[in-house]
Amino acid sequence: MNENLFTSFTTPTMMGLPIVVLIIMFPSILFPSPSRLINNRLVSLQQWLVQLTSKQMLAIHSHKGQTWALMLMSLILFIGSTNLLGLLPHSFTPTTQLSMNLGMAIPLWAGTVVTGFRYKTKASLAHFLPQGTPIPLIPMLVIIETISLFIQPVALAVRLTANITAGHLFMHLIGGAALALTNISASIALITFIILILLTILEFTVALIQAYVFTLLVSLYLHDNT
């Protein structure tokens, strides 16, 4: 039973060849590049969504921060589409793998830190000490702030991994339980209702993506503007 539960998270291979790269590249097919001034319905809808998201997200950034618009929009589209596609039955979600999420989090977080140190060295170093701390507490607080800085990429990656994996596991469990309870018809209505609620809640992976990009965004904002 445990074997069945976790095999959905193994990287898929077809006849010994790893096809996980194909699976990671698949969502890009769903976003055709706009080639005209006025495109077809799908492309227009996607363009409108991207414009809505980017306007809201980049409004707080300075000129330097807004050069990251392409990266942030690609990030939110990729994670959003990958997570939503993973809700289909028997599909593989690349963002359940910690390796992939660390691979996204570490370069981007390091990019923001290096940007801050490069262009605003004094302000970046000043982040390690909040305003108004009593003098005896300064050494301890610098250590705490350093730890909290270095924990940021790990937190970004683990947050995404844990949320998606936990959601998928939970759906497997509840679905299995519902199947097993069909013989006992008293609980079947309740269990299927819980499955429905869970799936709806799981649609909020898109909200999780918002959390991911927003967190990254806040980090970039802090390093650029302050």
Partner 1 sequence: MLQSLIQNVWVPMRPYYTQVYQEIWVGMGLMGSIIYKIRAADKRSKASKASSPAPAHGHH
Residues in the site for partner 1, rule: CB under 8 A? 67-68, 70-71, 102-103, 106-112, 114-115, 118
C-beta closer to partner 1: residue 47 or 67: 67
Please say whether the beta carbons of 101 and 156 come within 8 A.
Answer: yes
C-beta closer to partner 1: residue 110 or 125: 110
CA pair distance 82, 138, nearest whole angstrom = 43
Name the minimum Å distance from CB 33 to partner 1: 10
Name the minimum Å distance from CB 204 to partner 1: 29
C-beta closer to partner 1: residue 68 or 78: 68
What are all long-range contacts of 124-131, with beta carbons under 8 Å and residues at least 24 apart? 124/223, 127/222, 127/226
Name the minimum Å distance from CB 4 to partner 1: 28
CA pair distance 13, 65, nearest whole angstrom = 40
C-beta closer to partner 1: residue 105 or 164: 105
SS3 label, residue 18: strand
CA pair distance 127, 145, nearest whole angstrom = 8
C-beta closer to partner 1: residue 110 or 207: 110
Name the minimum Å distance from CB 185 to partner 1: 50
C-beta closer to partner 1: residue 108 or 191: 108
Helix (H) or strand (E) holding 149: helix 138-180
CA quadruple 188, 190, 196, 201: dihedral sign: negative
Name the minimum Å distance from CB 164 to partner 1: 21
CA pair distance 78, 73, nearest whole angstrom = 8
Burial of residue 68 (number of CB atoms within 10 Å: 0-12, 13-18, 19+): buried
C-beta closer to partner 1: residue 85 or 154: 154
Name the minimum Å distance from CB 159 to partner 1: 18
Please say whether the beta carbons of 8 and 89 come within 8 A.
Answer: no
> Residue 220 carries which DSSP code?
H
Name the minimum Å distance from CB 13 to partner 1: 20
